[in-house]
Amino acid sequence: RQKYLINLAYGAAQQFVLEGKHKEAIPAAWHALRFSAEVFGSNSVQLVPAYLLLAEASAGAGDFPQASRYLTQAQWIVLRTPACGAALRSRLHRALGLLCAAEGDFDQALYHLANDIYLASSAFGPESLETCGGYFHMANVFFHQNKRDIANSLYAKV
């Protein structure tokens, strides 16, 4: 029953984010996190997706410090879990890169997005749709830095 509630809350939060209703997504994502902690434990790697969703919703709502705190918590769990898969680590680096880009720290954003691309490539392959998203976000960062040639080559790759 708890796992059903986790999936329900997580799905509702994802839907709110997709609809651009970031503030509405936060309570649902928080419930997904709370239920996940009850089922899997407070330091379990199964909490990371909920933390990533909370960070995305918080950033979308304009609360970058709170988004950073959620990402720090997710990063701490991933660092403490050596067996954490490349796919989840890729999602973490993408979220960190997008937050850095939103805050204007483009060098740090590129660092995290490069890690995202590497990890996504190792998990899904270099030409996969999952990897493609990293290239797209990296191209956007280069575009904002007025490095149009690099951005255009990455957009072409996408």
For the chain, what percent of residues have pLDDT higher than 70?
100
| Nearest partner of 114 among 87, 130, 137, 147, judged by Cα | 137
The C-alpha atoms of residue 59 and residue 63 are separated, in whole angstroms, by 5
Residue 127 sits at φ, ψ, to 5 deg, of -105, 15
pLDDT (0 to 100) of residue 1: 85
Domains of the chain: 1-84 (1.25.40), 85-157 (1.25.40)
Q: What percent of the chain has pLDDT over 90?
A: 94
Question: pLDDT for 38-66, tens place per residue?
Answer: 999 999 999 999 999 999 999 999 999 99
pTM: 0.93
